[in-house]
Homo-oligomer: A and B are copies of this chain.
């Protein structure tokens, strides 16, 4: 539940835009009008609208107003800009997610792993391989490296459901920040096997590597997500700033 007023207003406006209360390409009510509607100050309202701008939902035009430029996006969309677990994003889009754990183990990172993950050599970690299904189709092969010190008590059972839910609800951890890199890599035999792919067809994967930090500034997770190329979509909205 959002406690902050601007969060509430933001969500209300967002929902109104998504449900066509405001028409595409039309102007939203002016700031003054919305201030009266929500009974808040100008700053608070502008903060909510500012979030809609970075979401690509609206566009502000000085002197004119705020235009709705939201267009619904299709299907298997992994919207960028927020940290969301596979489970959360699947449910949000009305799909049935399902996860199977292929491997659950723990070890200390060696030099090669330190290179790719960003964890120092010797760090104790949980290493988990998971396969994510959407409506019974295997879409993503995940390699998770969790800092053991920061995520104690992780089990295979938790990994089968939602690790993030465990971290946030049980361990009271606050996830704050995630740096991601998108690349395209050759498909491996492991990819082929688990994702039911044929390298004669596509021979590449969409790979998202991410480093995630908690509120203590500790990088507690490195994950490589290997996506089926034919189902992969990554959305983003960019705003050009004055140069």
Specify which chain B residues have a CB less than 8 angstroms from the CB of A61 in the assembled complex: 215-217
Chain A residues engaging chain B, CB cutoff 8 angstroms: 2-3, 7, 25, 54, 56, 59, 61, 67, 69, 73, 80-83, 175-186, 202-206, 213, 215-217, 229-230, 232-242
List 15 A–B pairs whose Cβ atoms lie within 8 Å, in order of A's numbering: A56-B179, A59-B177, A59-B215, A61-B216, A67-B217, A80-B236, A81-B239, A176-B240, A178-B237, A179-B236, A180-B235, A182-B234, A183-B206, A184-B232, A202-B203
Q: A180 touching B237 by the CB < 8 A rule?
A: yes
CB pair A176–B236 under 8 Å, yes or no, is no
Identify which of B2, B230, B236, B238 contacts A182 (C-beta below 8 A).
B236
Q: Which residues of chain B have C-beta atoms less than 8 A from A236's C-beta?
A: 80-81, 179-182, 236
Q: Is the beta-carbon distance between A237 and B177 smaller than 8 angstroms?
A: yes
Closest 8 CB pairs of A and B: A184-B229, A204-B204, A182-B234, A83-B240, A67-B217, A178-B238, A180-B236, A83-B238
Partner of A238, one of B67, B81, B237, B239: B81
Closest B residue to A56 using CB positions: B179
Check if B180 sits within 8 Å of A182, measured CB to CB: no
Give the residue of B54, B215, B232, B238 whose beta carbon is less than 8 angstroms from that of A183: B232
Docked-complex contact B184 and A82, CB < 8 angstroms:
no
B217 & A69 in contact (Cβ 8 Å cutoff): yes
Asked whether B213 lies within 8 Å of A186 as measured between CB atoms, the reply is no
How far apart are the CA atoms of A81 and B80 in the complex, in Å? 10
Smallest Cβ distance from A214 to chain B, in angstroms? 9
Chain B residue numbers with a CB within 8 Å of A239 are 81-83, 176-178
List the B residue with the shortest CB-CB distance to A186.
B202
- Most chain B Cβ neighbours within 10 Å, of A3, A182, A206: A182
Contact present for B181 and A184 (CB under 8 Å): no
